[in-house]
Chains A and B, each alone.
Chain A
């Protein structure tokens, strides 16, 4: 079974802190994605990556950056956390090459910025 793991289930940080969210997948997927999920807004794509060292902005990249140094790992970085970044963060991965390939999700990290 494909497994996507995220480094923390719950995280509490202070305003202005630098925050790292880690995601690891074990199925050699080329594509990896970071979303945030907020009530009433569904899932919004922050960044995605098609390959090692490659990244593309999603719909809401402001205030975030990403790093993909190894194929299995995709990190989301909040350079200076703010209260409006309090949210559920979901990582996903998928194969490339066909629209029929599903995305596999991690369990999510609930981040609270105080």
Chain B
């Protein structure tokens, strides 16, 4: 079945450091891939998405490239800020399984000044 595996946390970085959060997936069809962010006390909100192989999603300085050959969708940011402290979830949606989403377990990021 479909699944998402993402890097365990928590991750602690200094401000302006480079961020990578790894995400790999298993899917039977042709999924779309997503990164969601959850700030403290809030629901999840979409950060970026990619709908086919080699697509790059980007938003707020974050990027992720849909790599079909390695079944990966790693999240990167060149210079993190304190305001990026949040929990990040990788997810996939596969039309073959209806419109269900499959989420990773989340990676908590803390950025210290």
Contact = CB atoms under 8 A, between A and B. Distances in A.
A43 interface: yes
For this complex, into which size category does the number of interface residues on chain A fall? Answer: 20 to 34
A99 B95 contact: yes
Contacts of B95: 98-99
**Which interface class (under 10, 10 to 19, 20 to 34, 35 or more) fits B?**
20 to 34
A103 B101 contact: yes
Interface string B37-54: 000001111100101000
Contact of B32 (A33, A48, A56, A99): A99
A42 B43 contact: no
B22 to A, nearest CB: 15
A95 to B, nearest CB: 8
Contacts of A104: 46
B105 A107 contact: no
Nearest to A88: B43
Given A92-B44, A99-B31, A105-B44, 12 more contacts: A40-B105, A41-B105, A42-B89, A42-B103, A42-B105, A43-B106, A99-B95, A100-B32, A100-B49, A102-B49, A104-B46, A105-B43
